[in-house]
């Protein structure tokens, strides 16, 4: 499964000794064995973007890439020219083994910001991964394991299209915010698709998946989503169907990130309907999803709609027109706020399911948007007070 | 002390049985005994503003107010026309006792959103407080106690001006964010000052005090800051000196709120210097202050500068021009990030003091701004998962 579900890809994940956890796989390699090598990427908009992001942006700029090296155990962010040199050296090592140019090899890193990588270990890891490359399910799963940090489970996806396949893997658990999450994601397909169509499909899918989850409001320096197409199926897909499948892959992986949000005990869906535009619905949903107070209340199984509307009320009129006296809020199907006033009693709300649905109707239009987030728990604080990331 | 430090004011705080904590004072009254009754107010910009906010805005619109009733134990927010009727009835009761019009009496409430107040208890509390009005220190302190919710300590200020005095009290601990905090604040002065000068002094002071603290990024429905002037000293102050003293009072009270931030173990000062404008410095400081990951790290005594710069990097170029390669970050005096790269080792930073100073120099100009916040702790989550507010 994972990235090797699509034909024309091989992968590996090995223990290189970069991670502070003994025996943890920490270097992954994904290789596009062709016959084609179209590629697209979406990267963090953080101005302190990491060295591997700077490097990989250059790699996919021409719409092509042959391989990706990914490491956990170090983000190689805020490391200056020496850090960029490390990303370049990493790409060069795999390029040598594959007999291609280094500017065809993307690099992704995740871990602590502000420290250089142990380059010798990374390069040895690249060699070891190259030696173990395989197209079987286990090889793809090894790669998905190697990119995990605080993730509790590997996150993968496989989608069967009309004569072609998509596979994918993602890591991400904390430092997850709209405009990408702290995440590394590689999606592969054996469909025959041009670079331009890949890029368009990926950007549209990311905008409605990874850009609509928020674990903790923190944007990373290293976020990267890559889509590689081998063309090995020989099938030129219907473009709408293909775009739908890329969106489904991103949506599944994004949902898995929320499901594994650091320390979380509830996955929370904030759906805003009745807005005058999708953009205004999205602004409202994000404002509610960002409320620490609400997220603590949900952890305490308290359907505290006051914290929903007080967050909604911070959205400026210029960004979302609505009248507070018209707004309704349903929590897990119970209308606890009706026209800006108390509705049914909050004791009627069953907060025991892991999924909590908060449905807000602005009653001004027909547009809607959904954002997923997590609750804020004691474990989230534990993890992030103790873990240097 | 508190609001009775200034001449011409009497106050009381009584147990009315509104709060769920038995024996807790929960109704306060502050009366301006004159000879003048100039007043100014600043209120939440939350669109779901509470009934008492709607009422009190109307009271101070003409620049005058004779008294304030404040209650804890219920916010009277999102309670519709009936809630507004409760605020009006509360003002009417005190107005009757004082022999003034009800539109000269402001009302402030704090507590759970979305429930009506037990009006009988509030009105009995007003009667009881009226009967106990006093100008001594103890009466002022009783009032400061009566407005507390999750606050661990009453928060008061007294400032001796040139021939006149200012006194004040504030409550606030959680739901504290820029653009006012979840807070009720009453500041009194016996200076002779016009309504216009009061308003101008208050707005300027609030902008640089209560609008520059952020405990948890959550804006309340009930935030109110009132400044009342009795003129009892007979002194017309130098206006610049007076404005400075109002700013000092607000600054002290704002700093006390951060010092009592829910569950906090560190007070964190984020100072951004070298910006091209104060506004851009402020945007940067707020972005850093809003980072849950940084706040968890500080709780863990980890001087994690990577989480400082990754937050800074989310500020759009259009809002703050700077080059990541020029930025320096000092934590408690140690330059841990130098020119966007690692500086001195983070192990050199002493994180044991309660105050943590994070100094960011953008190196593009001469403007600066400071924001105060708290760390994010296990107790914050405990308090907000268990407490219905």
Please report the DSSP string for A163-205 in residue order. Answer: S-EEEEEEE-SSSB-SSSBS-EEEEEE-S---HHHHHHHHHHH
Q: What is the CA radius of gyration of chain A?
A: 22
Please name every residue paired with B338 in a beta bridge, in sequence order, or none if there are none. B328, B341
**pLDDT, average across residues B131-149:** 96
Torsion over CA of A74, A75, A81 and A82, rounded to 10 degrees? Answer: 10
Nearest-angstrom CA–CA distance, B259 and B352: 16
Pair A144, A13: CB distance under 8 Å: yes
Q: What is the pLDDT of residue A178?
A: 42
Q: Tell me how far CA of residue B178 lies from CA of B59, B207, B372, in angstroms.
A: 25, 9, 10
Site from A80, A314, A389 to mutate, B interface, most B CB atoms within 10 angstroms: A314
| Confidence band, pLDDT 50/70/90 cuts, at residue B181 | very low
Token pair of B150 as six digits:
């999750």
Token pair of A314 as six digits:
């911070």
Pair A35, A64: CB distance under 8 Å: no
Tens digit of pLDDT at every position of chain A (389 positions): 699 999 999 999 999 999 989 999 999 999 999 999 999 999 988 888 899 999 999 999 999 999 999 999 999 998 999 999 999 999 999 999 999 999 999 999 998 888 899 999 999 999 999 999 999 999 999 999 999 988 889 999 999 999 999 999 999 876 554 443 468 999 999 999 999 999 999 999 998 888 888 766 566 778 899 999 999 999 999 999 999 999 999 999 988 988 887 788 999 999 999 999 999 999 999 999 988 889 989 999 999 998 899 889 889 899 999 999 999 999 999 999 999 889 999 999 999 999 999 999 999 999 999 999 989 888 888 877 775 44
Q: Do B380 and A381 touch (CB under 8 A)?
A: yes
Quick check: helix, strand or coil at residue A146?
helix
**pLDDT, average across residues B346-354:** 95
From-to residues of CATH 3.10.20.340 in chain B: 267-386
Q: Give B-chain residues touching A266 at CB under 8 angstroms.
A: none
Q: Do A48 and B324 touch (CB under 8 A)?
A: yes
Return the closest-CA partner of residue A298 out of B296, B386, B76: B386
Q: Tell me how far CA of residue A163 lies from CA of A6, A192, A248, A355, in angstroms.
A: 11, 11, 17, 34
Q: Do B217 and A292 touch (CB under 8 A)?
A: yes
> Which regions of chain A does DSSP assign to beta strands (E)?
9-14, 27-32, 38-43, 67-72, 105-110, 155-160, 165-171, 184-189, 213-214, 224-229, 267-275, 328-331, 334-338, 341-342, 355-361, 367-374
Q: Do A309 and B113 touch (CB under 8 A)?
A: yes
Q: What is the pLDDT of residue A1?
A: 65
**pLDDT per position as a tens digit, B50-66:** 999 999 999 999 999 99
Pair B231, B191: CB distance under 8 Å: yes
Q: Do B78 and A296 touch (CB under 8 A)?
A: no
Torsion over CA of B302, B307, B312 and B313, rounded to 10 degrees? Answer: 160
* Cβ atoms within 10 Å of B240's Cβ, excluding its own: 9
Side-chain-side CA neighbours of residue B116 (13 Å) = 16
Q: What is the pLDDT of residue B112?
A: 83
Pair A296, B385: CB distance under 8 Å: yes
Pair B363, A87: CB distance under 8 Å: no
From-to residues of CATH 3.60.70.12 in chain A: 2-259
| Confidence band, pLDDT 50/70/90 cuts, at residue B385 | confident
Positive or negative, the Cα torsion across A203, A209, A212, A216? negative
Strand order in the sheet with A184-189: A38-43, A224-229, A184-189, A165-171, A155-160
Q: What is the pLDDT of residue B11?
A: 98
- Residue A267's contacts (CB-CB under 8 Å, 6 or more residues apart) are A258, A259, A261, A354, A355, A356, A372, A374
| Confidence band, pLDDT 50/70/90 cuts, at residue B180 | very low
Burial class (CB in 10 A: 0-12, 13-18, 19+), B56: buried
C-alpha A3, offset from chain centre:
15
* Cβ atoms within 10 Å of B150's Cβ, excluding its own: 20
Give the number of beta-carbon pairs within 8 Å between A and B.
204
Q: Give A-chain residues touching B302 at CB under 8 angstroms.
A: 385, 388
Cα separation of the two ends of chain A: 29
Question: Which residue is listed with tokens 């280094």?
Answer: A102
Q: Do A291 and B217 touch (CB under 8 A)?
A: yes
**pLDDT per position as a tens digit, B84-130:** 999 999 999 999 999 999 999 999 999 888 889 999 999 999 999 99
Return the closest-CA partner of residue A389 out of B351, B304, B377: B304
Side-chain-side CA neighbours of residue A301 (13 Å) = 8
Q: Does B211 appear as a known binding residue?
A: no
Catalytically active residues of A, by annotation:
182
- Residue A270's contacts (CB-CB under 8 Å, 6 or more residues apart) are A285, A288, A289, A358, A360, A370, A371, A372, A373
Q: What is the pLDDT of residue A222?
A: 84
Nearest-angstrom CA–CA distance, A335 and A344: 6
Burial class (CB in 10 A: 0-12, 13-18, 19+), B338: middle
Pair A84, A92: CB distance under 8 Å: no
Q: Nearest CB to B219: which of A47, A179, A314? A: A314
Longest dimension (CA), chain B: 68
Cα separation of the two ends of chain B: 29
Q: What percent of chain B has pLDDT over 90?
A: 74
C-alpha A11, offset from chain centre:
20
Q: Does B182 appear as a known binding residue?
A: yes
Quick check: helix, strand or coil at residue B296?
helix
Q: What is the pLDDT of residue A292?
A: 85
Q: Do B112 and A306 touch (CB under 8 A)?
A: yes
DSSP at B346? G
Q: Nearest CB to A221: which of B77, B174, B310? A: B310
C-alpha B132, offset from chain centre:
27
Nearest-angstrom CA–CA distance, B246 and B264: 27
| Confidence band, pLDDT 50/70/90 cuts, at residue B49 | confident
Token pair of A181 as six digits:
């999450």
| Confidence band, pLDDT 50/70/90 cuts, at residue B293 | confident
- Residue B365's contacts (CB-CB under 8 Å, 6 or more residues apart) are B274, B275, B276, B277
**pLDDT, average across residues B285-293:** 89
What are the helix and strand counts (H, E) for chain B? 10, 16
| Confidence band, pLDDT 50/70/90 cuts, at residue B389 | very low
Peptide bond into B35 cis (omega under 30): yes
Torsion over CA of B90, B95, B97 and B100, rounded to 10 degrees? Answer: 180
Nearest Cα residue in chain A from B287: A218
Q: Nearest CB to A384: which of B47, B297, B337? A: B297
Stronger pLDDT, B248 or B217, i.e. the higher one:
B248
Compute the nearest-CA separation of B36 from chain A (Å).
36
Pair A145, A137: CB distance under 8 Å: no
Nearest Cα residue in chain A from B48: A313
Question: Which residue is listed with tokens 């429905």?
Answer: B221
Q: What is the pLDDT of residue B176?
A: 56
Token pair of B323 as six digits:
């080059």
Q: Give B-chain residues touching A299 at CB under 8 angstroms.
A: 381, 385
What rounded mean pLDDT belongs to chain B?
Answer: 92
- CATH superfamily assigned to domain A267-386: ArgJ beta chain, C-terminal domain (3.10.20.340)
Token pair of A266 as six digits:
């509830």
Task: Look up the CATH number of domain A2-259.
Answer: 3.60.70.12
Nearest Cα residue in chain A from B303: A388
Site from B115, B299, B314, B334 to mutate, A interface, most A CB atoms within 10 angstroms: B314
Quick check: helix, strand or coil at residue A305?
helix
Please name every residue paired with A260 in a beta bridge, in sequence order, or none if there are none. none
Q: Nearest CB to B293: which of A47, A48, A174? A: A174
**pLDDT, average across residues B210-229:** 80
Catalytically active residues of B, by annotation:
182
Token pair of A384 as six digits:
């992030």
Nearest-angstrom CA–CA distance, A382 and A265: 14
Q: Do A302 and B220 touch (CB under 8 A)?
A: no
Lowest mean pLDDT among A2-16, A267-281, B6-20, B169-183: B169-183
């Amino acid at each position: 499964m994972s990235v090797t579900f699509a034909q024309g890809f091989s992968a590996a994940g090995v223990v290189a000794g970069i991670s502070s956890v003994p025996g943890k796989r920490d270097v992954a390699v994904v290789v596009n064995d062709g016959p084609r090598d179209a590629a697209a990427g979406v990267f963090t908009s953080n101005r302190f973007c990491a060295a591997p992001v700077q490097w990989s942006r250059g790699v996919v700029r021409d719409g092509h890439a042959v391989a990706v090296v990914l490491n956990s155990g170090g983000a190689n962010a805020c490391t200056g020219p020496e850090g960029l040199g490390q990303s370049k050296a990493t790409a060069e090592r795999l390029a040598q083994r594959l007999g291609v140019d280094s500017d065809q090899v993307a690099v992704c890193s995740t871990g602590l910001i502000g420290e250089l990588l142990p380059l010798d270990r990374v390069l040895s890891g690249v060699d070891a991964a190259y030696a173990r490359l395989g197209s079987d399910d286990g090889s793809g799963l090894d790669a998905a394991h190697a990119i995990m940090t605080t993730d509790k489970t590997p996150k993968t996806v496989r989608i069967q299209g009309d004569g072609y396949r998509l596979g994918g893997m993602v890591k991400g658990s904390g430092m997850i915010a709209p405009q990408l999450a702290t995440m590394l994601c590689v999606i592969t397909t054996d469909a025959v698709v041009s670079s331009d169509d890949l890029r368009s499909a990926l950007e549209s899918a990311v905008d409605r998946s990874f850009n609509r989850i928020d674990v903790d409001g923190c944007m990373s320096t290293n976020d990267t989503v890559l889509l590689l197409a081998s063309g090995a199926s020989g099938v030129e897909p219907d473009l709408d169907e293909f775009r739908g499948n890329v969106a489904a892959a991103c949506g599944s992986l994004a949902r898995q990130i929320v499901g594994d949000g650091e320390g979380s005990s509830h996955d929370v869906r904030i759906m805003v309907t009745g807005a005058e535009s999708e953009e205004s619905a999205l602004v409202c949903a994000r404002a509610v999803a960002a409320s620490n107070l609400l997220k603590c209340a949900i952890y305490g199984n308290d359907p505290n709609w006051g914290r929903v509307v007080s967050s909604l009320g911070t959205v400026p009129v210029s960004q979302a027109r609505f009248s507070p006296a018209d707004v309704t809020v349903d929590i897990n199907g119970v209308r606890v706020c009706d026209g800006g006033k108390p509705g049914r009693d909050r004791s009627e709300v069953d907060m025991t399911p892991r999924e909590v649905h908060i449905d807000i109707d602005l009653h001004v239009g027909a547009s809607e948007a959904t954002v997923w987030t997590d609750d804020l728990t004691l474990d989230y604080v534990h993890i992030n007070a103790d873990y240097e990331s």
